[in-house]
Amino acid sequence: MGCGNTTSTGTKDGVTEKARVTFVLGGPGCGKGTQCSLMVERDDFVHLSAGDLLREEQATDSKDSKLIKDYIKEGKIVPVEITCNLILKAMQKKGMSKKFLIDGFPRNEDNLQGWNKVMNKHANVVQVVFFELSEDIMLERIMKRAETSGRADDNKEAAEKRFNTFKNETMKVIKHFEGKKMVHKVDATGGIEDVYENLKDGLIV
Ligand code: C5P
Ligand code: MG
């Protein structure tokens, strides 16, 4: 396991700087992307969405395109070598001294181990934001998004698969970080500004 072999980190006065990372997790359709956009505008974060990076990679016709497409359609988690490599490259492009929101990652044990193996020397994880929302509302939001997103997995059938992946795999990662007292749990039920208020209360910026 592992991802990429690039070694560049930010430097300041000759001292190597590590990226400051906030993981952003929650079930599909819970509003991760929406809230990340607000944190970019208001709190000076740089936002990287693992799902967006995978969709971009899929669209380039690279050697991993077909695999990514198949995994996304099934709501399964792509092997970390692919995802982590895309994240690292994107972080390096932005400059490693930034504070990053990494949205939709780590989604399972494989993601977490791959990150630890390759990224611990490049980045410090400072907190994990967990948006909590009922499946009913997540499905409502996904079906609303489906009207414009064009995403192959924004439909009821794929959403059910993604809910299962979330419950069976991602919740374990959240529990792991809860054990380390790193999780900031946010009620994602209300409107965009209500959720942002809940988020700000306890967010490390
Ligand atoms: O986060 P988002 O809902 O955009 O993710 C869409 C899909 O991308 C996931 O259901 C999964 O198939 C894939 N993905 C992944 N590994 C991640 C993040 C997303 O395989 N860490
Ligand atoms: Mg998203």
Q: Report how far apart, in Å, the C-alpha atoms of 165 and of each of 26, 63, 149, 196 are.
A: 11, 25, 21, 26
Identify the pLDDT of residue 39.
98
CA 116 to chain centre: 15
Q: Which of 78, 85, 128, 161 to mutate to test the pocket of ligand 1 (most atoms within 8 A of CB)?
A: 78
3-state secondary structure of 16: strand
The predicted model scores a pTM of: 0.94
Domains contained in the chain, number: 1
Is the beta carbon of 108 within 6 A of some atom in ligand 1? no
| Cα diameter, the chain | 53
Query: Quick check: is 121 in a domain?
Result: yes
Condensed to tens digits (0 to 9), the pLDDT of residues 7-34 reads 445 565 656 689 999 999 999 999 999 9
Q: For residue 47, which ligand has an atom nearest its CA? A: 2
CA angle (42 as vertex; 180, 48 as ends), nearest 5: 60
Identify the pLDDT of residue 1.
44
Stretches where the chain sits below pLDDT 70 are 1-16
Query: Quick check: is 92 in a domain?
Result: yes
Identify the pLDDT of residue 5.
47
Which structural domain range is residue 144 located in?
Answer: 19-200
Which CATH number does the domain housing residue 144 bear? Answer: 3.40.50.300
Query: Quick check: is 165 in a domain?
Result: yes
Identify the pLDDT of residue 17.
81
